A and B are shown apart, each in its own frame.
Chain A
Amino acid sequence: MARLDIEFCGIRSPNPFWLASAPPTDKAYNVERAFEAGWGGVVWKTLAEAGPPLVNVNGPRYGALLAVDRSLIGFNNIELITDRDLDTNLEEIAAVKRRWPDRAVIVSIMVPCQEESWKAILARVEDTGCDGIELNFGCPHGMSERGMGSAVGQVPEYITMVTGWCKHYTRLPVIVKLTPNVTDIRYPARAAKAGGADAVSLINTVNSIMGVDLETLTMTPAVGGQGTHGGYCGPAVRPIALNMVAEIARDPQTAGIPISGIGGIGSWRDALEFIALGAGSVQVCTAAMVFGFKIVQDMANGLAAYLGAKGLASVAELRGRALPSVTDWSHLDLNRVSKAVIDQDKCIQCGRCHIACEDTAHQAITSTRNGRRYFEVKDEECVGCNLCVNVCPVPACITLRDLAPGEVDRRTGRVVSAARLDWTGHPNNPLRTTV
């Protein structure tokens, strides 16, 4: 039986599944239920400094992008960090940690960019007995207007500065949570590392407007006839998050820094994808908010089955295994040639591949043969672009076949070479560096 437990920047957890800092980890009641359900850890919903509690809107704070069958594709929120009293939160954190010593309890923090503010809260957080802290430099709505959250995460110098303070004032592991609302995620990650961060977590949510009510011509969700951009999450952001995780994992300046992967994770498969691209733990929010805490049992079950089937002893063995497959475009092998192949036994003759290719790609799929409906790839036109594979409604009906070295590409008439050739050495590249 494969082991699911992990160690993440010194924090031990019975499995890699943590609940992200968000409404599900708002208070002891929820966190207790999460631990009972089997979550390996939680990142407690972001604490604010002592004083009058924050206020949230008293109207819709969530919006969703739904498929026709109302399955959730994307989700957004304008909820602020905790609106509960600091003392209450700290007492509950301490009590929960005492009751669940084997679980990871990380405390998310967001206070103004003043050293005194951080110093004051860090000592009190450490006293709870928690396992680590996460710096919320990601929240893109509300708090960012007050100079916190993503307003910090978008300025690498601030990240380094605040991370440095935290490392100075606490012995707890420091995880820096990054905002995706930047042009290049590597800069904030490097800044976190420069400040001494023990780990980074990403992504926080993406600036978003969920839609417009076409009857009232009001953006949604709206409070009193007006709305504001929220933070976007859920399955739709997963590809964005995977890329950012991989960018940091393969950046020579940050390679090796522990990464807690976040963004649209709802199943063991999603989690494994993050881990394969370098994440050491994963955090979940949206899926739990849709289905409840029980999903962790299905995630753990699937993860264990996968590791067992692959003969892997632990989650750590899988970490980063897909990273070598990620590279820059300029290093892609331009000598490889693929052709789409349609399995006629599986084809249901909907013709989507044909019309997609005909109207928008390379006119490489037939629509008839001998006057009858028939969809077949024309190798002499096919560039192997994968569009047909993606629009086909039948799994594995259309696949790409890699031509073997020595075969002739009927589109170009050239024999496929066994040698590698990327753009850096391509004869058409005036700036080629290799021969």
Chain B
Amino acid sequence: MSEQRKPDIRPGRLTAEAYAEHFADIAPPLTEAQAVLEASRCLYCYDAPCMQACPTRIDVPSFIKRIAEDNVRGAAEAILEANPLGGFCARDCPTEVLCEQVCVRNTQQGRPVAIGQLQRFAVDRLMASADNQIFERAPASGRRVAVVGAGPAGLACAHALARSGHSVMLYDAGPKPGGLNEYGVAAYKTVDDYAQREIEWLLGIGGITLECGWALTRAEQLERLRREHDAVFLGLGLADTHELRTTGESLDGVVDAVEFIGTLRQATDRATVPVGRRVVVIGGGMTAVDAAVQSKLLGAERVDMVYRRGPEQMSASLEEQELARIRGVSIHYWLAPVELLGEGGSVRAVRFARQRLAAGRLVADGEECILEADMVLKAIGQRLGNPVLTQCGLALRDGRIAVDACGRTSVAGVWAGGDCIAEGQDLTVDAVAQGLRAARDIDLLLRNPKNPWRD
């Protein structure tokens, strides 16, 4: 780096047509003919492995059979009955490691039934129909529940409770509901403002009051929620991200990947989102892949995604890694960041130390390399980062909220689910499952005249 040069980070690298093309639907919806033909590949397995692999236990064989039988509304019913966010999950789920991974057609034909695509077909058809509220709210129970966080866990929980007749107060810290569905997932997976359209449908059940811009920042707030409601559900997500803990982290051009993706998702015009000419993404999860791929799509010339372990250890699936490569991302394994190198206050490169496994632990093998960068995106994981929770008396485990098998926290009357709990898998569908699990438990207790924790 002998010559002085300015860091090249700027918006508007592409033509309007290129932006439109790059951020179009990554998996265009099936036509009716395609859906029916694909549905006919389903064998209607006994005790279907796909259903077992789904955290929300969607009855996959039945919904697919209903598509094949020209009962698409019934198909959507089967999906949404098990998972009210089935439309979003159909777009976002890594089906290749869930339902589609265990599809028996893999064994027979080397290709699973396109369960995710079929699910999207059915739910999209329902959503587009005139009378799309398939669920009827039970008579009002007179019970009140507070749900904190309108991400997938909170939304699922609120919807289920409202369906059961309870009155739900739904709070979210952000200006818009949706959590990572709105701010986190890659834009090309959820085009046409799908997250908000789905939320509109979810709230259409009635009985849910949404309040945005409400953050849990003081212990008294939770106390008050507990006093004023019969139950409280926390679906807070993870507010903070991990630090690299290397020198140079405060240099200009070093950006949090979650923030970068959020900015991109909220931009009405992608051309306004700045991206470096050379981008280095540090991390190996879905966020890293989404950040790397979208950097490339925004017109970055070179994108290096760097992970300190091997391809098998990455939490992004092999399919996601393949997607990143196809989109032009270079993936480097076994490299850990040592130092962010700057010039004039801006990041110019990252120095990495090559890693190897010694007795199960990562150790530097002495070799180093430098990757030049105008922009560094940090995607090495998120953390709870809300000191209020411990102040409220909530027990944590592994840095996240500890819950029991029903989603109950250590504080009576408070449940939790989604990424903020210890068993969180960072998947939308897991968050939904945990929200529904808590809702079932809350509903059972609220219906019990001998409410064990209040009376």
Contact = CB atoms under 8 A, between A and B. Distances in A.
Given A68-B68, A393-B108, A394-B108, A350 B43 contact: yes
A355 B43 CA distance: 12
B39 interface: yes
A354 B46 contact: yes
A367 B46 contact: yes
Nearest to B37: A69
Contact of A350 (B40, B68, B104): B104
B49 interface: yes
A350 B37 contact: no
Contacts of A373: 47, 49
Most chain B CB neighbours (cut-off 10 Å) among A67, A69, A348: A348
A68 B45 contact: no
B37 A352 contact: no
A68 B46 contact: no
B39 A68 contact: yes
A367 B47 CA distance: 9
Interface residues of A, number: 14
A67 B108 CA distance: 21
B4 to A, nearest CB: 63
Interface string A81-115: 00000000000000000000000000000000000
B107 A351 contact: no
Nearest to A351: B46
A371 B108 CA distance: 23
Contacts of A390: none
Nearest to B61: A350
B36 interface: yes
Contacts of B39: 68
Contacts of A348: 104-105, 107-108
Contact of A68 (B36, B105, B107): B36
B68 A352 contact: no
A355 B48 CA distance: 11
Nearest to B42: A350
Nearest to B109: A348
A68 B49 contact: no
B135 interface: no
B74 to A, nearest CB: 14
A179 to B, nearest CB: 34
A355 B44 CA distance: 10
Given A393-B108, A394-B108, A349 B49 contact: yes
Contacts of B44: 352
Contact of B40 (A68, A349, A394): A68
A68 B37 contact: yes
A361 to B, nearest CB: 14
Interface string B84-112: 00000000000000000000110110000
Interface in A52-75: 67-69
Contacts of B104: 348-350
Contacts of A367: 46-47
A68 B45 CA distance: 18
A401 to B, nearest CB: 23
B36 A350 contact: no
B40 A352 contact: no
B46 A355 contact: yes
Contacts of B47: 351, 367, 373
Contacts of A349: 45, 49, 104, 107
A87 B236 CA distance: 88
Interface string B129-167: 000000000000000000000000000000000000000
Contacts of A69: 37, 40
A85 B43 CA distance: 53
Contacts of B48: 351
Nearest to A368: B47
Nearest to B46: A351
B291 to A, nearest CB: 38
A72 B201 CA distance: 41
B108 A352 contact: no
Contacts of B46: 350-352, 354-355, 367
Given A68-B36, A68-B37, A68-B39, A351 B108 contact: no
Interface string B20-41: 0000000000000000110110
A350 B107 CA distance: 10
A290 to B, nearest CB: 18
Contact of B45 (A67, A351, A394): A351
A351 to B, nearest CB: 3
A367 B49 CA distance: 12
Interface string B37-65: 10110011111110000000000000000
Interface string A345-361: 00011111011000000
A352 B104 CA distance: 11
A405 B36 CA distance: 49
Nearest to A393: B43
16 contacts: A67-B40, A68-B39, A69-B40, A348-B108, A349-B49, A349-B107, A350-B43, A350-B104, A352-B43, A352-B44, A352-B45, A352-B46, A355-B46, A367-B46, A367-B47, A373-B47
Closest 6 CB pairs of A and B: A351-B46, A68-B40, A355-B46, A348-B107, A348-B104, A350-B45
